[in-house]
Amino acid sequence: MEFPTKCKFFGVKAAEEIIEEFGQANVVIARNVLPHVANLHDFVNGLQMCLQEEGLLVIEFHYAMIIYKELHYDSIYHEHLCYSRWKV
């Protein structure tokens, strides 16, 4: 099975290109990518654009309180730009 890919940073502009080529998605999954994103608002807005109105968005990211309370310091990397303080 082939999955088409684009080699570029994701955001609103990339979302517009994806929607034009493939349309909106029923499901969008962003697995452990959010901490690496420099422009969170552009990234999340792009996710929202790609998703159909009744679609499902799944985002996985580290929860800072668990890192702190359970001493998961091996989860902290210099390339991680953010950590969530909200548990969903």
pLDDT in tens, 49-76: 999 999 999 987 766 777 677 776 666 6
CA distance 47 to 30: 9
CA neighbours closer than 13 Å in the CB half-sphere of residue 9? 10
* Exposed e or buried b per residue across 47-69, where buried means at least 16 C-beta atoms within 10 angstroms of its C-beta: bebbbeeeeeeeeebbbbeebee
For the chain, give the longest Cα–Cα distance.
Answer: 45
pTM greater than 0.95 (yes/no): no
Mean pLDDT lowest for which of 5-9, 16-20, 48-52? 5-9
pLDDT of residue 38: 79
3 state DSSP class of 45: helix
**The Cα angle at residue 80 between residues 74 and 86, in degrees rounded to 5:** 85
Average pLDDT along the chain: 82
pLDDT for 35 equals 75
